[in-house]
Amino acid sequence: MLRTEESCAKFQPLFSLRADGERKTRKGNRVASISSLGYFVIGATDLAACEAFAVDAIGLQTGMGHAKDSLTLRMDDHAQRVLIQKSEHDDLLAVGWQLDTEQALDEFVSDLKRKQVQVQMGSPELIAERRVKLLYHCDCPNGIRHEFYAGALRASTLDAFRSKVMKAGFLTGRLGVGHFVIAARDAGEATDFCTQVLGIRISDYIRGEVAPGKVLDATFYHTSTGRHHSIATAMVPFPLGKRIHHIMFEMVDMDDVGMAFDRCIKLGYEITSGLGHHPNDKMFSFYVRTPSGFLLEVGTGGVVVDDDNWEIKSFSQLSDWGHHKSQPKPATT
């Protein structure tokens, strides 16, 4: 379990976010921005089950481990994109937000401290475990540790990423590791954390019925490099028992999404939503239940936000088509 620290929500909003995306303090100083979501840290009761799912069904690669009670997974040239730690709780423990330089990280953290956010420097052990050069962290109102880092370690050129099963690989790079959706306890707190602490921008909203009489209300946020959303906060109309609804990995090629879909079915994983298309990020995707209980969205074709021309919209449905809870049976003749 993560240590419970003082809430990050207790702060004074000392900066404004301008329409052109540049954040400035009230005194007019430029504030460094998060460039992307860089990694996930997940707690799991069964590391072997997680490894089999991630490697054989989805296509990640096992990386160089730390200890017998953790599992490192790769998706690209980073030495580590996902760290799974043995835990009594199957849930998201922490996420890493990338700042492009140590100077940008220092500026970002100084701004948090000015806003009275309880941000702490990572210990040498934590920095080594995350395989980054410099790291700070705080907790969000939903109990997830948010880590701000610079200098993620890359794998050797002699150790290029190789998936056992994929054709073209994951879409990461400047767009980061993917996205995650928090099952927010309080919409206002979640919004304040994203806009005031993380300092990221709203992409759009979806308020749609997910079951008769059950409405899911979600807000989506993007970082400066523009993946449509790196985090979304959702008021979910039923108990999840987890901090998150799902995480998402994006693939370069539609064939890889389809082949992952087939592998998940063949290997017996539960497809909770079949292939479909979202109206806001235009993602073609499906959802599968991970061994940790929360969902993984596997998709391709997500929108990249251009802040100069972006219009924030509100959508009334979660999917344009598909994403059915169970696969339709073929018609019999």
* Interacting residues toward Fe ion by CB under 5 A: 248, 297
Phi, psi of 6 (to 5 degrees): -65, 145
Q: Which is nearer to Fe ion, 38 or 276 (CB)?
A: 276
Q: Select from 238, 247, 141, 139 the least CA-distant residue to 187.
A: 141
Closer of 17 and 235 to Fe ion (Cβ): 235
Determine the Cα–Cα distance for residues 48 and 55; give it in Å rounded to an integer. 11
Judged by DSSP in three states, 117 sits in coil
Report DSSP letters for 155-198, one per residue. Answer: PPGGG----SS-SS-B--GGG-S-EEEEE-S-HHHHHHIIIIII
Q: Could you tell me which of 294, 195, 208 has the C-alpha nearest to residue 243?
A: 294
- Closer to Fe ion by Cβ: residue 206 or 248: 248
* Type of residue at 189: E
Tell which residue, 155, 128, 178, has the closest CA to residue 74. Answer: 155
Residue 63 CB, nearest distance to Fe ion (Å)? 24
Cβ-based nearer residue to Fe ion, 166 or 283: 283
Nearer to Fe ion, 141 or 302 (CB): 302
Contact 26, 14 (CB under 8 A): yes
CB of residue 211 vs Fe ion: minimum separation in angstroms?
Answer: 18
Nearest to 245 by CA among 182, 293, 300: 182
Q: How far is the CB of 238 from Fe ion (least distance, A)?
A: 17
Nearest approach in angstroms of CB 129 to Fe ion is: 27
Nearer of residues 181 and 198 to Fe ion, judged by Cβ = 181
**Least distance from C-beta 269 to Fe ion, angstroms?**
17
- Nearer to Fe ion (CB atom), residue 139 or residue 297: 297
Among candidates 101, 120, 113, which has minimal Cα distance to 3?
120
> Minimum distance between the CB of residue 246 and Fe ion, rounded to whole angstroms?
6
Quote the least distance from Cβ 229 to Fe ion, whole Å.
Answer: 8
